[in-house]
Amino acid sequence: MVHIRIEDLESYAFNNNIPIMQKDGIEFLCKYIKENNIKNILEIGSAIGYSAIKMALVDSDVKVTTIERDKERYDIAVNNIKKFNLQDRINIINEDALILNIGINDKYDLIFIDAAKSQYIKFFEKFEKNLKDGGVIVSDNLSFHGLVEDESKTNNRNTKQLVRKIRKYIDYLKDNPNYKTTFYELGDGVAISIKIK
Residues 195, 178: contact at Cβ < 8 Å? Answer: yes
Q: Determine if 11 is a binding residue for ligand SAH (CB under 6 A).
A: no
SS3 of 47, please? Answer: coil
Measured distance CA(167)–CA(170) in Å, rounded: 5
Measured distance CA(82)–CA(60) in Å, rounded: 15
Among 6, 8, 87, 96, binds ligand SAH (CB under 6 A): 96
Look at residue 98 and give the partner it binds from Mg ion, ligand SAH, none, a contact being a CB closer than 5 to 8 Å depending on partner kind.
ligand SAH
The phi, psi pair for 132, rounded to 5°, reads: -70, 160
Look at residue 89 and give the partner it binds from Mg ion, ligand SAH, none, a contact being a CB closer than 5 to 8 Å depending on partner kind.
none
Q: Determine if 139 is a binding residue for ligand SAH (CB under 6 A).
A: no
Q: Determine if 141 is a binding residue for Mg ion (CB under 5 A).
A: yes
Using CB atoms within 10 Å of the CB of residue 93, give its burial: 0 to 12 exposed, 13 to 18 middle, 19+ buried: middle
Residue 78 one-letter amino acid: V
Q: Determine if 140 is a binding residue for Mg ion (CB under 5 A).
A: yes
CB of 133 to ligand SAH, least distance (A): 25
Measured distance CA(181)–CA(8) in Å, rounded: 33
Q: Determine if 114 is a binding residue for ligand SAH (CB under 6 A).
A: yes
Give the nearer residue to ligand SAH in terms of CB position, either 45 or 135: 45
Give the nearer residue to ligand SAH in terms of CB position, either 21 or 148: 21
CB of 17 to Mg ion, least distance (A): 13
Query: Binding-site residue total for Mg ion (CB under 5 A)?
Result: 3
Among 41, 42, 47, 173, binds ligand SAH (CB under 6 A): 47
User: Distances in Å between the alpha carbon of 32 and those of 14, 67, 145?
Assistant: 25, 21, 23
SS3 of 38, please? Answer: coil
Measured distance CA(26)–CA(187) in Å, rounded: 8
**Where along the sequence are the contacts to ligand SAH (CB under 6 A)?**
19-21, 45-47, 50-51, 67-70, 73, 96-98, 114-116
**Where along the sequence are the contacts to Mg ion (CB under 5 A)?**
114, 140-141
